[in-house]
Amino acid sequence: MIDDFNREALGIDLDFSLPSHRVIRVLGQIMAWRGKPQAIRCDNGPEYVSATLLHWASGQGIRIEHIQPGKPQQNAYVGRFNRTVRYEWLSQYYGSDLHEVREYATQWMWRYNHECPNMALGGITPKQRLAMAA
pLDDT in tens, 42-66: 888 777 778 899 999 999 999 999 8
20-132 is classed CATH 3.30.420.10: yes
What ranges do the domains of the chain cover? Answer: 20-132
| pTM score, whole prediction | 0.83
Question: Residue 85 — very low, low, confident or very high, per pLDDT cuts 50/70/90?
Answer: confident
Cα(55)–Cα(50) distance, integer angstroms: 9
Cα(64)–Cα(75) distance, integer angstroms: 13
Q: For 1-19, how does the pLDDT look when each residue is reduced to its tens digit (9 = 90+)?
A: 899 889 999 998 888 888 9
Cα(15)–Cα(38) distance, integer angstroms: 27
